[in-house]
Chain A
Amino acid sequence: MDRRKYLKSFTVGAIGTGALLQSCAPGEKTSQVAPLNHDRTPEEKAHYEKLMSEKFFTEHEMKTITVLSDYIIPKDETSGSASEAGVPDFIEFIVKDMPHHQVPMRGGLKWLDLRCNKEFGKPFVEGSGEQQTAMLDQIAYPDQAKPGVEQGVAFFNLMRDLTACGFFSSKMGIKDLGYMGNTPNQWDGVPDEVLKQYGLSYDQRTLDISVKFDS
């Protein structure tokens, strides 16, 4: 088989298998927990189902996380917002999966509400847009933060990390980022225009010895 056909056959095969695994026969009952579409040991399956049966954040906490995540990653001309990409659900899962995030997240949310209560008499989500951004401006810029809000800065750093990684590892986020891999291909070196941009080139020996593609 020539190489191009070989690659093509693999692509089709891979997509075909994935689609089969994801779809259910008509009338078949779907389990409550979405099944995972990659290799799982029995222990991993049990762990996943256990986590999915638990709820960590309260409704109020989830609401706060949703508002905060959309402040961090808002919708713009390229892609949607963090909540549109499912970031709050990711954060709910990840704190159950990584219990070391639980106290910093829960305590951080509480810290934020208490601080807001002190400054404008309401929890964060009930403040006006101006009140909310005024609050965030105090804790979102570590080098400019005033003494007394260090705990808020630490919480917001964590919130920023979880939001950004949740967003950019989502389908929407990866498209936004422009990651172009995870697909069968032939690596034949850095594109010429990129080499040119950086003033680089492959030396003759590298060209001579490197793998060549017939199609």
Chain B
Amino acid sequence: MADFQIKKNPKKYDVCIIGSGAGGGMAAYMMAQAGIKTVLLEAGPMYDPKKNVTQMKWPWESPRRGASTAHRNFGDFDAAYGGWSLEGEPYTHKDGTKFDWFRSRMLGGRTNHWGRISLRFGPKDFKRKSIDGMGDDWPIGYEDVAPYYDRVDKLIGVFGSKENLPNDPDSIFLPPPKPRLHELIIKDAATSIGIPVIPSRLSILTKALPDNKDRGACFYCAQCNRGCQVYGDFSSSSVLVNPAINSTHVDVIANAMVREVLTNDEGLATGVSYVDKTDMQEYTVQARVVILAASACESARLLMNSKSARHPNGISNSSNIVGKYLHDSTGAAMGGILPKLIGRKRYNEDGVGGMHVYTPWWLDNKNLDFKRGYHIEYWGGMGMPGYGFGFGMQGLNGKYPGRDGKMKPAGGYGALLKDDYRYFYGATFGMSGRGEAIAREDNYCEIDPKVVDKFGIPVLRFHYKWSEEEVKQARHMKQTFAEIIDKMGGVVTWGNDGAEKDYGLEAPGRIIHEVGTTRMGDDPKRSVVNRYNQAHECKNLFVVDGGPFVSQADKNPTWTILALSMRASEYIIEEMKKQNI
């Protein structure tokens, strides 16, 4: 180690952003618009769906027919690199609890894999403690965020329908696509038993945005998860980071794995140190303001690993709150077959990359045995075949009469079997609930005292348990799904889980909506950042990912991360102008 040295980047920046997902991408975009000299550090490689193409490929172009791999956990054609485990970057668990952590180290981060479901939080979602006594209220309310939601809608684009629902505020919508066949059947069935089904709300351009020449309109290939070559959907790289780079005010350093935030004697941030993954050398970069947007858990990890005489317990952590109140959405699913769709007529029903209808939370918890709600997502139909197509035919083809109207034994081989795959194609469907869990102090991530990753950075250790509230919510989901499926005339083929399996409640982390680890509040003893995402104990440090969420709603977090990052960025720009930071 004789030649060990830390290389200092000679350029001094006004702002240094860690992470290029929804939060970091928006911060970079805002800084670029304001002409602020910014450096954006990304722990993975550069990525541009126009150049890194997997869209419009056929299954046979993948030797594994699109199956997932250790390198792409959501499939060989998925845009997102990485997944539940990364080589050389472990995380650990405490007390036998479970938490699965999805990481995608690449430009755009996890916006390269998501359903583009773009829901605003409602007024109640910011004040849950006042409603049911559990968790905490946010220090801000819907009215504080609403103007930023409006601007995000216009900047990025989202389709949907005006519904005037009390806790599912409308966005400024592009027109939604018409429902698919199975979605019409679901809608009829569910609404007949009092469960609303409305157009979904996805950040996909069903019409080109009026003031944006860089992005084309959707051409209905159903492959948003592969990244869009015309930028017809939202991902942070194509919609936010690219324009930021083109502004010339923002430099991006890819493959920069940040080690810690550097602070001076006054405890203020001066920049960050990082390892360049391409040469494994150590670097520092200096900036007036540091913005963390590395994901809820990664930003918490950075704060806890940034120890100094002024911040002996990590930055903004004298209260010991960093990493606490970790919570992911709940998830449970069920699926089946719709006998009336067997042998259906073929046509192209790809549509957009996701559901065309969904169910927002529709009940009042006062009348239920659990707290907090969930929304329901639907899927099905004649999708593109790939790895896994037709698996388990022996569980299906013995249960229904064939094309000739006759029953036959399950399984088999030969021409009759071959025809069964055609016959049953497009008749299956599924639905899944995504609900709000309660943020609890004893669900957390912390630094494992014994384990480091391949860069020598101490890793996270998770401790997470669902409570009765979430289990009962999952039970309610399953009951609801079964009722809808019954009403549709469908048959449940999977997901009929009972109490012994916690009603199919997914392990924490699996829904990839984890938030809460650097929560916001007015009281520095009970929160990490203030209402402007500014660290209580380090005024030139901000966190703009999901970490500052006090509570996750029954909504997907991305639209709120974007709105809050935009809001925090404006505050940062103002405070810099006033020389307060």
Q: Is the CB of A177 within 8 A of B422?
A: yes
18 contacts between A and B (CB under 8 A): A6-B217, A10-B219, A36-B61, A39-B53, A39-B54, A41-B71, A136-B413, A140-B412, A142-B411, A157-B394, A161-B391, A161-B393, A181-B348, A183-B221, A186-B220, A188-B178, A190-B178, A191-B347
Question: Which residues of B are found within 8 Å of A103, using beta-carbon distances?
Answer: none
Q: Which B310-355 residues sit within 8 Å CB-CB of chain A? A: 340, 344-352
Q: Is the CB of B71 within 8 A of A187?
A: no
Check if A141 is an interface residue, CB within 8 A of chain B.
Answer: yes
Q: Is the CB of A187 within 8 A of B220?
A: yes
Binary interface profile of A, 84-123, with partner B (CB < 8 Å = 1, else 0)? 0010001001100110000000000000000000000000
Question: Which residues of B are found within 8 Å of A173, using beta-carbon distances?
Answer: 385
Binary interface profile of A, 63-75, with partner B (CB < 8 Å = 1, else 0)? 0000000011110
Question: Which residues of A are found within 8 Å of B280, using beta-carbon distances?
Answer: none
Q: Which A1-55 residues sit within 8 Å CB-CB of chain B? A: 3, 6-7, 10, 14, 17, 36-39, 41, 43-44, 47-48, 51
Question: Which residues of A are found within 8 Å of B391, using beta-carbon distances?
Answer: 161, 164-165
Q: Is the CB of A182 within 8 A of B64?
A: no
Q: Is the CB of B65 within 8 A of A169?
A: yes
Check if B175 is an interface residue, CB within 8 A of chain A.
Answer: yes
Q: Which B399-427 residues sit within 8 Å CB-CB of chain A? A: 409-415, 417-419, 421-422, 425
Check if B538 is an interface residue, CB within 8 A of chain A.
Answer: no
Q: If A94-B64, A141-B410, A182-B58 touch, does A211 touch B385 (CB 8 Å cutoff)? A: no
Q: Is the CB of A198 within 8 A of B61?
A: no
Check if B392 is an interface residue, CB within 8 A of chain A.
Answer: yes
Question: Which residues of A are found within 8 Å of B347, using beta-carbon distances?
Answer: 180, 190-191, 194
> 3 closest Cβ contacts across the A-B interface?
A189-B178, A181-B350, A184-B219
Q: Is the CB of B181 within 8 A of A41?
A: no
Q: Is the CB of B221 within 8 A of A200?
A: no
With beta carbons under 8 angstroms apart, the residue of A10, A43, A179, A185 that contacts B384 is A179
Q: Is the CB of A38 within 8 A of B62?
A: yes
Interface size (A, Cβ < 8 Å)?
75
Question: Which residues of A are found within 8 Å of B87, using beta-carbon distances?
Answer: 43
Most buried by A among B63, B72, B421, B425: B63
Which residue in chain B gives the minimum CB-CB distance to A206? B178
Check if B29 is an interface residue, CB within 8 A of chain A.
Answer: no
Question: Which residues of B are found within 8 Å of A38, using beta-carbon distances?
Answer: 53-54, 57, 61-62, 76-77
Q: Is the CB of B63 within 8 A of A168?
A: no
- The CA of A211 and the CA of B344, in the complex, are separated in Å by 25
Q: If A10-B230, A180-B346, A211-B159 touch, does A144 touch B409 (CB 8 Å cutoff)? A: yes
Q: Is the CB of B219 within 8 A of A39?
A: no
| Interface size grouping (class) on chain B | 35 or more
Question: Which residues of B are found within 8 Å of A166, using beta-carbon distances?
Answer: 65
- The CA of A184 and the CA of B222, in the complex, are separated in Å by 10
Q: Is the CB of B390 within 8 A of A161?
A: yes
Check if B466 is an interface residue, CB within 8 A of chain A.
Answer: no
**What's the minimum C-beta distance from B416 to chain A, rounded to whole angstroms?**
10
**What's the minimum C-beta distance from A79 to chain B, rounded to whole angstroms?**
8
Most buried by A among B64, B66, B72: B64
Check if B91 is an interface residue, CB within 8 A of chain A.
Answer: no
- The CA of A108 and the CA of B188, in the complex, are separated in Å by 47
- The CA of A198 and the CA of B338, in the complex, are separated in Å by 12
Which residue in chain A gives the minimum CB-CB distance to B346? A178
Q: Is the CB of A90 within 8 A of B65?
A: yes
Q: Is the CB of A183 within 8 A of B71?
A: no
Q: Is the CB of A187 within 8 A of B352?
A: yes
With beta carbons under 8 angstroms apart, the residue of A36, A168, A210 that contacts B421 is A168
With beta carbons under 8 angstroms apart, the residue of A6, A47, A94, A189 that contacts B67 is A94
Q: Is the CB of B350 within 8 A of A44?
A: no
- The CA of A186 and the CA of B455, in the complex, are separated in Å by 48
Chain A residues with CB under 8 Å of chain B are 3, 6-7, 10, 14, 17, 36-39, 41, 43-44, 47-48, 51, 71-74, 76, 86, 90, 93-94, 97-98, 136, 140-144, 156-157, 160-161, 164-166, 168-171, 173-174, 176-191, 193-195, 197-198, 200, 202, 206-207, 209-212
Check if B363 is an interface residue, CB within 8 A of chain A.
Answer: no
Most buried by A among B176, B387, B398: B387
Q: Is the CB of B389 within 8 A of A198?
A: no
Question: Which residues of A are found within 8 Å of B398, using beta-carbon distances?
Answer: 143
- The CA of A169 and the CA of B388, in the complex, are separated in Å by 9
With beta carbons under 8 angstroms apart, the residue of A41, A164, A206 that contacts B45 is A41
- The CA of A146 and the CA of B61, in the complex, are separated in Å by 41
Q: Is the CB of B60 within 8 A of A171?
A: yes
Check if B306 is an interface residue, CB within 8 A of chain A.
Answer: no
**What's the minimum C-beta distance from B162 to chain A, rounded to whole angstroms?**
8
Question: Which residues of B are found within 8 Å of A98, using beta-carbon distances?
Answer: 64, 67
Q: Is the CB of A174 within 8 A of B411?
A: no
Q: Is the CB of B216 within 8 A of A181?
A: no
- The CA of A3 and the CA of B161, in the complex, are separated in Å by 23
Q: Is the CB of B412 within 8 A of A180?
A: no
Check if B359 is an interface residue, CB within 8 A of chain A.
Answer: no
- The CA of A128 and the CA of B569, in the complex, are separated in Å by 76
Q: Is the CB of A210 within 8 A of B175?
A: yes
**What's the minimum C-beta distance from A33 to chain B, rounded to whole angstroms?**
10
Q: If A179-B384, A180-B347 touch, does A37 touch B57 (CB 8 Å cutoff)? A: yes
- The CA of A212 and the CA of B66, in the complex, are separated in Å by 33
Q: Is the CB of B409 within 8 A of A143?
A: yes
Q: Is the CB of B411 within 8 A of A211?
A: no
Most buried by B among A43, A44, A94, A181: A181
- The CA of A142 and the CA of B397, in the complex, are separated in Å by 12
Which residue in chain A gives the minimum CB-CB distance to B49? A39
Q: If A74-B414, A210-B178 touch, does A41 touch B221 (CB 8 Å cutoff)? A: no
Question: Which residues of A are found within 8 Å of B53, using beta-carbon distances?
Answer: 17, 38-39
- The CA of A207 and the CA of B392, in the complex, are separated in Å by 39
Which residue in chain A gives the minimum CB-CB distance to B72? A44
Q: If A190-B178, A194-B345 touch, does A165 touch B411 (CB 8 Å cutoff)? A: no
What 18 additional pairs, Cβ within 8 angstroms, besides A97-B63, A160-B394, A174-B385? A36-B63, A38-B53, A39-B53, A157-B394, A160-B417, A164-B389, A165-B387, A179-B384, A180-B348, A181-B350, A182-B384, A185-B220, A185-B350, A187-B220, A190-B180, A202-B178, A209-B161, A211-B175
Q: Is the CB of B66 within 8 A of A97?
A: no
Q: Which B35-67 residues sit within 8 Å CB-CB of chain A? A: 45, 52-54, 56-67
Question: Which residues of A are found within 8 Å of B176, using beta-carbon distances?
Answer: 209-211
Check if B172 is an interface residue, CB within 8 A of chain A.
Answer: no
Which residue in chain B gives the minimum CB-CB distance to A153? B411
Q: Which B522-555 residues sit within 8 Å CB-CB of chain A? A: none
Q: Which B363-397 residues sit within 8 Å CB-CB of chain A? A: 382-394
**What's the minimum C-beta distance from B341 to chain A, rounded to whole angstroms?**
8
**What's the minimum C-beta distance from A70 to chain B, rounded to whole angstroms?**
10
- The CA of A44 and the CA of B87, in the complex, are separated in Å by 13
With beta carbons under 8 angstroms apart, the residue of A39, A44, A171 that contacts B58 is A171
Q: Is the CB of B392 within 8 A of A161?
A: yes
- The CA of A74 and the CA of B419, in the complex, are separated in Å by 11
Q: Is the CB of B409 within 8 A of A182?
A: no
Question: Which residues of B are found within 8 Å of A37, using beta-carbon distances?
Answer: 57, 61
